[in-house]
Structure 1
Amino acid sequence: MGSGDIDETLDSYGTDVNDQESVLWTLLDWILLQGNRIFITVALTVGVFLSLLVVHALGLISFINDDSLTRMVGGMIAGTFSLITLVVSVNQMILSREFRSADEFRNRLEGVMDFRHDIEDATGVPATPAAPAKQLELLVREIDYRADRVTAAVADDRDGTAQREVEAFIASVRERTERTRESLDEARFGSFNALSSAMGYNDAWQIYAARYLCNQYDDELSADTREALEDLLDALRLFNVGREHFKTTYLQRELTRLSQLTILFGIPSVLSAFFLGLLYAGIGGPMISHTYTPLVASGLIAIVFSPLALLAAYILRTATVARRTASIGPMLPQKAPDEGPFEVHHEKETEASAD
């Protein structure tokens, strides 16, 4: 196996969300994850308003027929109430997790405190940072530190395939930790940047690769190297748990905020639907001049659409986060079944083929 094969084999297959360089991917990533949700909601609402005006200018739709507009208003009001009910139900489901007994809250707190103690024992800090971004940054620094220990230990091993693969793996780890640490340095508390940076760190792949190297080259690696790799695995596991805890808390906050904003957007939406119905309540059609009817009707319809735009903006982000972090540990669903990176054979199959 050549060095080029080793480097390619040890390439990352993690959940890289920020590594694509095309303009289209950057725009898509901004819409799905990075963009401000309120701004995207307003942009979608304005887009509906302008689209209605353009379609009307092309002569494809008309705002003169009061019967069709009245029927449409009834559907808008029913749809808005259904949407609000749906989002409030989701909010109630989230709140139901908070209705627990004192013993259950105590167990939850003890679980969190035990995890924080594990971080303190692993890193040697007096107390684990309270800010999620700083906590994750601390774990990334610990991963980088333990990767340096693996490099120092494997340098004393016998030169061969095992040493070269471990060195290539550690180089990949250090490159990834450096990028993630820089992103976390810029992340604010509670911002999506912290979670986005953690999502981009491919700890699942690193856990898988480290376990493979430990087991595959158990006889060729020294005891110090194997111990250093196990310590690195422990730090990667802590990062994985910390990110999942942060992700759960973030999604709860996001869905709760979605419920609040849906109520705030829903009130003007329902009122706009009522105003649209009253606009066409007269016997002779619209109550205002036909010159301004398309502008006013399009604006009211766009406001009615705003809760749906808000729901789309938030669900796009939460669903993308959930999809890109769907697995826990060394499970890589984004890889094709026939992709490497390592050839793994069952021990019994290997013995049978040898016979």
Structure 2
Amino acid sequence: MSGATEPASSASDAPDAENDESGTDTADTMRERAGENRLKLWLLLRANRPLVAAVLTLVVFVAFVAAAAVFSPSLAEKVGSSDPIETLFASMITVIVTGATLVVTIGQLVLTQENGPLGDQQERMNDTLSVRSSVAELTGSPVPTDPATFLDAILRSASDRARSLRESVRERDADHSGSDRAALRSDVDEFAAEIAENADTVRGQLDGAEFGSFDVVFAALDFDYSPKIGRVERIVDDHGDALSDDERDLLAGLRESLSLFGPAREHVKTLYFQWALIDLSRLILYAAIPALVVAGLMLTVVDAGTFPGRTLGVDHVTLVVGAAFAVTLFPFTLFVSYVLRILTLAKRTLAIGPLVLRDSE
């Protein structure tokens, strides 16, 4: 896997079909687990956030113009007899300033997590190095510093250990036979194939993914480690008498690989949340300036006679007011687009560990 640096689950959402403790199966991909159509999932998670905001803004513009053109009296008549423009855009200026202030507050909350006394910073560093040491011991090689290759190393370890377990069971079956060993071999063969296939697929998605976009986090959602941990525990419980000491050690190592993927993914997800909220704060502040300018111009320049005439039966003043209203809403649609992804991702990764917070198939 090549190095990478950037790109909407924990137990509540990860892939690969597995049997849970009640004998039911979970779906392989996040889209199948979510039970949503492809377009909806793309809009909520995969789509470029500013693009989603732009589409929402266009929808607002079309809806505004359509409503203003259909209902009577028309907006042009209202502008001539009263001053709805002043009322509307004076309110929008207040909303924009208030919203920008709120976003700055959100950004400050994110940055607050990075601040602290020296002792706290040292503790954070020690905790991080401790986990890296565990991963290095697991993989037998230095731990990558890139988020995508870091997750890839854990997945490679899980895949290798699953294959080693399968080979160990097959080799021992050459010397031992019986119904207990046959049942164990069947379970292990199926389980190892599922892990290897799922891990290899996700590793392919991580290859070349760069942190900062959504690619790394989205790929990590497609490895369903939670039911896999439960499956390891169930194999030990169901076939305890048939397992050799070496096979128990391999199962323990596989369980450790799967359990390390959970906090590793949660850490990468948390970093992405912080990255995305900082990007959101910056973009909204950028968008607030032109939105304020447009709102100010509408207050001071536009009246009933500024844009005379009609196009396709729609008054020009209606088109201008609708466009200006959509532009002033752009900071809000940016906020909506980012928060939709963050909330969707958070819901699908609520639990950590062998808990499945969704319906099983």
Using the size of structure 1 for normalisation, the TM-score is 0.84
Tell me whether 1:120 sits opposite 2:136 in the alignment: yes
1:104 — aligned with what? 120
On the 8 A contact 1:46/1:302 being kept in 2, the answer is yes
Paired letter, 2:359: K
Structure 2: distance between partners of 1:245 and 1:204: 16
* Aligned counterparts of 2:301 and 2:355: Cα–Cα separation in 1: 57
Structure 1 residues 188 and 82, CA gap change in structure 2 (3 angstroms): same
Question: Within 5 A, what are the aligned runs for 1:1-355?
Answer: 13=26, 16-19=29-32, 25-59=37-71, 62-66=75-79, 67-125=83-141, 127-155=142-170, 156-157=172-173, 158=178, 159-280=181-302, 285-291=304-310, 292-335=316-359
Deviation at 1:249, TM superposition (A): 0.6
Identity of aligned residues (%): 27
Task: Give the deviation of 1:80 after TM superposition.
Answer: 2.0
Report the CA distance between 1:132 and its aligned residue.
Answer: 0.6
Supply the RMSD in Å over aligned alpha carbons: 2.5
Larger mean Cα displacement after TM superposition, 64-73 or 299-308: 64-73
CA distance in 2, matches of 1:200, 1:83: 35
Deviation (angstroms), 1:19: 4.6
SS across alignment from 2:243: coil
Give distance in 2, aligned partners of 1:296 and 1:141: 57
Give the SS at the match of 2:75.
Answer: coil
Higher mean alpha-carbon deviation, 324-333 vs 40-49, is at 40-49
1:12 CA displacement: 5.1
1:203-238 CA distance string (max 9 Å, x none): 111111111221232223222222111100111111
Deviation at residue 150 of structure 1 after TM alignment:
1.1
After superposition, the Cα gap between the structure-2 partners of 1:313 and 1:70, relative to the gap in structure 1 and judged at 3 Å, is same
Distance in 2 (CA, whole Å) between partners of 1:99 and 1:115 is 22
Question: Per-residue deviation at 1:53?
Answer: 2.9
Distance 1:7 1:17 in 2: 13
Structure 1, gaps ≥5 residues long: 1-5, 340-355
Amino acid in the other structure paired with 1:138: A
Mapped partners of 2:18, 2:307: distance in 1: 71
Distance 1:234 1:148, change over 3 A: same
Cα distance, 1:7 vs structure 2: 8.1
AA paired with 1:227?
Answer: D
Q: Sort the Cα spacing of 1:219 and 1:147 in 2 relative to 1 into closer, same or farther, 3 A.
A: same
Following the alignment from structure 1 to structure 2, what is the Cα–Cα distance between the partners of residues 11 and 20? 13
Inter-CA distance 18–184: structure 2 relative to 1 (3 Å threshold): farther
Note the C-alpha offset of 1:59: 4.5
Contact 2:19–2:231 (Cα < 8 Å) also in 1:
no
Aligned length: 327
Residues 122 and 235, structure 1, Cα contact 8 Å, conserved in 2: yes
Q: State the AA in 1 paired with 2:163.
A: D
The 8 Å contact of residues 220 and 265 in structure 2, kept in 1 or not, is answered as: yes
Task: Calculate the TM-score normalised by the size of structure 2.
Answer: 0.83
Q: What CA distance in whole angstroms lies between the structure 1 residues aligned with 2:134 and 2:108?
A: 33
1:175 positional shift: 1.8
Q: Bigger shift: 213-222 or 263-272? A: 213-222
Q: Distance in 1 between matches of 2:346 and 2:44?
A: 12
Q: What is the CA-CA distance between 1:63 and the residue it aligns to?
A: 4.0
* Residue 102 of structure 1, CA deviation: 0.9
State the distance in 2 between where 1:279 and 1:27 align. 41
Question: 1:20, CA displacement in angstroms?
Answer: 7.7
Deviation at 1:321, TM superposition (A): 1.1
> Following the alignment from structure 1 to structure 2, what is the Cα–Cα distance between the partners of residues 63 and 162?
78
Q: Structure 2: how far apart are the matches of 1:313 and 1:15?
A: 27
Q: 1:15 to 1:73 in 2, by over 3 A?
A: farther
Q: Could you tell which deviates more after superposition, 76-85 or 203-212?
A: 76-85
Deviation of the 1:81 alpha carbon: 2.4
AA aligned opposite 2:349: T
State the distance in 1 between where 2:353 and 2:62 align: 46
Task: Give the superposition deviation at 1:334.
Answer: 0.7
CA contact (8 A) 1:15 1:324 kept: no
